[in-house]
Amino acid sequence: MDANMPLTAASQASIPWLSLIVLLPAAGSLVIPLLPGGDKSNSNLPRNIALGFLFADFLLIIGVIGTIFNTQVPGIQLAERVNWIPLIGLEWSLGIDGISAPLLVLSGLITLLSAAASWKLKSKTKLYFALLLIQASAQGLVFLSQDFLLFFLAWELELVPVYLLIAIWGGTNRQYAATKFILYTALASLLILISGLALALSAGQYTLNLTELASRAPKGSFGLFCYLGFLVGFGVKLPIFPLHTWLPDAHGEANAPVSMLLAGVLLKMGGYALLRFNVQMLPEAHTQLAPALVVIGIVNIIYGALNAFAQDNVKRRIACSSVSHMGFVLLGIGAIDALGISGAMLQMISHGLIAAAMFFFTGSFYERTNTLSIPNMGGLAKVLPITFAFFLASSLASLALPGMSGFVSEITVFLGITSQDNFTSIFRAITIFMAAIGLVLTPIYLLSMCRRVFFGPRIPALAKIEEMSPRELTIGLSLLVPTLVIGFWPRIAIDLYESSTNALAQTLLTHNLIAITKFTIFS
């Protein structure tokens, strides 16, 4: 197989590093229930064990990617393949490339910080931290799976902890929000399963291996059918309009650490899956439907921004802003060139850090004020100056202030749209104009929220509250410092995925040229 193909068994792992990354948190989830006594006997022990396992797992991820992973190789590396259940063709097949590597790092970091943000949790701590560890394993398996059925099992597994984390530790309407989340995502999973099995059974030879499925690259109406199934299935998780309505409810009811996971990792799974399946495995269908993806991205950007204005709940406003920002991921993926896809990857990394930071700081002042209602807050900047500074910094990063990662990612997407010739000049101009409207709306709804929460008349009941603790400052810095580093030195992130996105863009270009040639011949 060509070395430039995006999916290649580039190297075999002598030590099963990727399996260790996936299974280490799961092992921790088995240890916690064995702890003696109930939750009230020592509520800190489950938390400390979870933090220990997650910290070790994050160090393992950093070590593997920093010392073993070769950023110059576009294909799959550290491949691990074990024939697990031969009867159905299921393999324990893991591998890592430039598309999955940065998102695996993001997943490890956000999950570790979400556990640290749950420091004061006192109810059902064994179950809570065991679920966080299971979630960490499921997330890692999603990004590393090279077998479709294994990927699907991981995709389904991660739904269960999130559902329980919202349903048990959420707000007043937690049951409604958790049920809505599971219904949307479970129904979407049916489309993913149908589309994946259709590909597995195509070409007269059954296989679940993603490398082999990508080599088939089905064409015509069959490819379009599978593409649309994946688009809707993964689009729910991204989320795309109008499949997004579960998100504000889930964020509104989930506690802050779970919202960090939702925004920082789960939404990125949708973008990753679109790149892995829709773009990488169905390049011809993608070149045909890319303009539609760009249009959906524009709708996401503007609708999410406008919807944010209508929210008087801080977390719901941030959730709607996530819908808007993930529209830039769709724009980048729809650009059909290396710069656009690079922008989509950078936007996923950037938004994961920024959104997790905003939800963490929101949870920080919620612990002190016991309210998320914007009209019920005011004057907090005088009593929480450090919290205000951190929240304002994350808001500025979200509105793409130059010098922060949000600016670099969004400008890269814009350049990706303008620099390629697949769209007409009019289409590109309209796309840029409409996306720019979203850029104008973002600072308005974010800065107005900051003004109403931190300035204005001081609420007497909020006059005496404590500032952020050293632990909270450490978590906040762990999220904001990377956004500044990427903003000033984006190569630190781009170098991880550039060879893979360039190879992917070259594959799309080849299929696009073939499509143009066919059109010229028959016209």
Nearest to 217, CA basis, from 514, 498, 521, 516: 514
For the beta carbon of residue 386, count every other beta carbon within 10 angstroms: 13
Does the structure show a pLDDT above 70 at 374?
yes
Secondary structure in 3-state letters for 145-183:
ECEHHHHHHHHHHCHHHHHHHHHHHCCCCHHHHHHHHHH
Domain assignment present for residue 2? The answer is no
Gap between the Cα atoms of 440 and 450, Å rounded: 16
pLDDT at residue 7, rounded to an integer:
42
The set of residues, in sequence order, having a beta carbon less than 8 Å from that of 156 and lying 6+ positions away, is 189
Percent of the chain with pLDDT over 70: 92
pLDDT at residue 40, rounded to an integer:
57
Detail the DSSP E strand segments found in 88-130.
90-96
* CA atoms in the 13 A half-sphere facing the CB of 28: 29
Does the structure show a pLDDT above 60 at 514?
no
Nearest to 484, CA basis, from 416, 365, 396, 361: 396
Q: How many residues belong to the chain?
A: 523
Average pLDDT over residues 451-478: 83
Gap between the Cα atoms of 399 and 6, Å rounded: 33
Does the structure show a pLDDT above 90 at 179?
yes
Residue by residue, DSSP assigns 228-288 as HHHHHHHHHHTT-TTS-THHHHHHHHS-HHHHHHIIIIIHHHHHHHIIIIIITT-HHHHHH
* Alpha-carbon Rg for the chain in angstroms: 22
pLDDT at residue 10, rounded to an integer:
43
pLDDT digits (tens, 9 = 90+) for 471-506: 999 999 999 999 999 999 999 999 999 999 999 998
Does the structure show a pLDDT above 60 at 426?
yes
* CA atoms in the 13 A half-sphere facing the CB of 286: 29
Nearest to 20, CA basis, from 160, 140, 150, 194: 140
pLDDT at residue 227, rounded to an integer:
95
Domain assignment present for residue 1? The answer is no
Type of residue numbered 133 = L
Does the structure show a pLDDT above 60 at 3?
no
Nearest to 214, CA basis, from 138, 285, 141, 292: 285
pLDDT at residue 202, rounded to an integer:
83
Does the structure show a pLDDT above 60 at 27?
yes
pLDDT band at 511 (very low <50, low <70, confident <90, very high): low
Detail the DSSP E strand segments found in 97-147.
none
Does the structure show a pLDDT above 80 at 430?
yes
Tell me the two tokens of residue 35: 């702890």
Does the structure show a pLDDT above 70 at 516?
no
pLDDT digits (tens, 9 = 90+) for 129-177: 999 999 999 999 999 999 999 999 999 999 999 999 999 999 889 999 9
Does the structure show a pLDDT above 70 at 406?
yes
Domain assignment present for residue 456? The answer is yes
Gap between the Cα atoms of 327 and 28, Å rounded: 36
Average pLDDT over residues 206-231: 89
Give the chain's mean pLDDT.
89
pLDDT at residue 372, rounded to an integer:
87
Gap between the Cα atoms of 484 and 450, Å rounded: 20
Does the structure show a pLDDT above 50 at 521?
no
pLDDT at residue 454, rounded to an integer:
87
Domain assignment present for residue 503? The answer is yes
If one counts the domains in the chain, the total is: 1
pLDDT digits (tens, 9 = 90+) for 73-99: 999 999 999 999 888 889 999 999 999
Domain assignment present for residue 334? The answer is yes
Tell me the two tokens of residue 100: 């999955």
Nearest to 211, CA basis, from 87, 72, 91: 91
β-pair partners for 77? 96
Tell me the two tokens of residue 253: 């009811």
Residue by residue, DSSP assigns 51-76 as HHHHHHHHHHHHHHHHHT--TT--SB
pLDDT digits (tens, 9 = 90+) for 268-325: 999 999 999 999 999 999 999 999 999 999 999 999 999 999 999 999 999 999 999 9
Range of the domain at 471: 17-522
Average pLDDT over residues 457-475: 80
Does the structure show a pLDDT above 70 at 9?
no
Residue 371 main-chain phi, psi, to 5 deg? -150, 150
pLDDT at residue 519, rounded to an integer:
33
Give how far the C-alpha of residue 94 lies from the chain's centroid of Cα atoms, to the nearest Å: 20
Assess contact for 400 and 439: CB atoms under 8 A: yes
Q: Which residues of 150-180 are buried (b: 16+ CB within 10 A; e: fewer)?
A: bbbbbbebbbebbbbbbbebbeeebeebbeb
Domain assignment present for residue 5? The answer is no
Average pLDDT over residues 431-436: 87
- The continuous run of DSSP H or E covering 85 comes out as strand 77-85
pLDDT at residue 518, rounded to an integer:
40
pLDDT at residue 522, rounded to an integer:
31
Nearest to 263, CA basis, from 349, 355, 178, 157: 355
pLDDT at residue 520, rounded to an integer:
34
Domain assignment present for residue 8? The answer is no
Does the structure show a pLDDT above 90 at 52?
yes
- Is the Cα torsion angle 370, 376, 379, 385 positive or negative in sign? positive
The set of residues, in sequence order, having a beta carbon less than 8 Å from that of 486 and lying 6+ positions away, is 346, 349, 350, 353, 404, 405, 408, 492, 493
Domain assignment present for residue 9? The answer is no
